Structure 1
Amino acid sequence: MPPRSYTLKEIREKGQPPGLKERRNEEHWAGRLYARSLSPFLTWISLRIGFSPNQLTYLMILSGIGAGVAFGVGTGLVSAIVGALLVQLYLVLDCTDGEVARITGRTSITGVYLDRLGHYFSEVAVVIGLGFRAEAQFDLPWGQGGWIMLGLAGALGVALIKAETDNVVVARAKSGLPADPPGGDRALRPTSPWLALARQAASLLKFHRIIGAVELSLLILVAAVLDQVLGLPDLPNGLFAEYVEPGPLSYFGSPVEWTVTRGLLVAVAAVAVLQTVLHFVSIVASRRLK
């Protein structure tokens, strides 16, 4: 029996029910802004071909990992553009698999598991790709793996933040409690007024978004453009080689050669580590584990 043909109107009505775009902490801002407008077209094609929701999720995972590989194998604009486009495809596929599942009634626990795992793989891959990209820009002095290690540290932070969130549900399930704590948004707030104020300030600053795959891919592209314009990757002796004495910008007595991409990596790693600690404190100090 051939796959049923759906109109775009039917896809939007069944695949994007009311309230979908307004889901707190579930719907990405880019999904609300444009991805949910593009995904029905890919959903239409997927339904015509006969893709299952899980097959689309696997494609989403491959797109996210592929983006990390694209960022890591080059230092120029082409690799940055390819990586950014693959992340956009990852985002649209992340919308499409759920739409196909809702339209065909093929929602499953496996699909939820694969979707969550796909976010882990993809966001970690982009940060690791940034580390390899920064490593390849110059030969000295971190040409021995230092920038890659920094990327791995940032990727570990990204994974831990997601694990901290997901393990709230695991802990509640093992304790016989419902996945969502009573009290709605109030349960997410730390019981300490000072911690609650700090959490609100961090939320307003939104500095945590720098480690998200969509935002980071765009920042990597911007960094690549700036490096190209400033000619930083093409300087044979590095931007600071003649001017920097050993000190804060040095590594084992050798001047560190900086680019916009490398500066971005340092910021990503710092935010990932800081956010890991802050997120843990926010969870433990809230009512989510009660």
Structure 2
Amino acid sequence: MSTPSVAELRAVAQPQTTMNRRSGEHWAGLLYMRHLSIYATWLLAKTPITPNQVTGLMIVSGVAAGAVLALPGLWAALAAALLIQLYLLLDCSDGELARWTRRTSITGIYLDRVGHYFAEAALLIGLGFRASQTVPDWYTVLGFAAALGAILIKSETDLVDVARARSGLTAATEGSAGHFTSGRLGLARKVVGALRFHRVIQGIELSIIAVIAAVLDTWFSATRILVVACAIIALVQLILHLVSILASRRLS
């Protein structure tokens, strides 16, 4: 396939169904990364690299960010944040390249989900090691606990489709997540959602907060406070997310 122009590539690789979605797209993707990723995809389209190989690079970038974050110092935190930005860029480009080359596949979707699991867990584990004076100590444990919580939260979401498939139902729609059997629970979900506290344990936000914490470490143990906060948020979100799923119409 000949190399397309950026405009030709954008028409195929960034359809309105992708650009207009909200629940399936990170705010950073909508705000700036989709505007940058199309140029990375244009460069990748000139090479023999496959979409699944791009996803593999995405996974490596996310895990590497966690490993780098485990190192001391502000520069390590900055490097980890940059690696997470690369992870987000590749996360956008793999799908764009797949749509352009018509190589979309179940394997690609699976690897993409696995990459999100690995990257967020690695970053939280790295944060735990970063906060530790001796390895292991309680901050190491809290980092692993937060990582486990983040993985379980994602599992709760993915298991909805597993349960529906085994019951002979189609995948849940985006709208079903906002429909509840109880009006009070629906209102409570809106209030909790508006606070956005769950984003603290997500990769993009956490990498930025970790940099801020690294700067504040000069005056007090901000990174340690962040690790404790991540563990608490992961536990609370794990419970609230499960209640939200059970109370919604996603399982019906």
- TM-score normalized by structure 1? 0.84
Structure 2 CA distance for aligned equivalents of residues 21 and 47 of structure 1: 20
Alignment correspondent of 1:210: 200
Unaligned runs of 5+ in 2: none
Q: Is the partner of 2:229 in helix, strand or coil?
A: helix
AA paired with 1:212? Q
- Would you identify which runs of 4 or more consecutive aligned residues in structure 1 move more than 6 Å? none
Q: Which of 146, 159, 163 does residue 167 from structure 1 map onto?
A: 159
Query: In percent, how many aligned pairs have the same letter?
Result: 52
Q: Is the 8 A contact 2:62 2:84 kept in 1?
A: yes
**Match 2:114 to one of 112, 117, 132:** 117
Q: Alpha-carbon deviation of 1:193?
A: 1.9
Give yes or no for contact 1:188–1:283 (8 Å, CA) kept in 2. no
1:191 and 2:196 correspond: no
Deviations 1:101-154 (A, max 9, x none): 00010000000000011100011111111000001xx45xxx642111000100
1:270 to 229, 232, 237: 232
Q: Give the AA of the match of 1:26.
A: G
Q: Structure 1 residue 190: deviation in Å?
A: 2.6
Residues 131-189 of structure 1, C-alpha deviations (whole Å, 9 max, x = no match): 00001xx45xxx642111000100010000000000000000010001025xx525533
Determine helix, strand or coil for the equivalent of 2:63.
Answer: helix
CA distance in 1, matches of 2:212, 2:152: 27
The reply on whether 1:284 has 2:249 as its aligned counterpart is no
Segments of 5+ residues of structure 1 without an aligned counterpart are: 233-258
- Match in the other structure for 1:247: none
Structure whose CA Rg is larger: 1
C-alpha separation in 2, matches of 1:218 and 1:144? 25
Q: CA RMSD in A?
A: 1.3
Report the TM-score when normalising by structure 2: 0.96
Q: What letter corresponds to residue 165 of structure 2 in structure 1?
A: A
Verify: 1:151 aligned to 2:143, yes or no. Answer: yes
CA contact (8 A) 1:63 1:87 kept: yes
1:254 alignment counterpart? none
Aligned 1:1-290 pairs, distance under 5 A: 4-72=2-70, 74-135=71-132, 138=133, 144-180=136-172, 185-186=175-176, 188-228=178-218, 230=219, 232=220, 259-290=221-252
Larger helix share, 1 or 2: 2
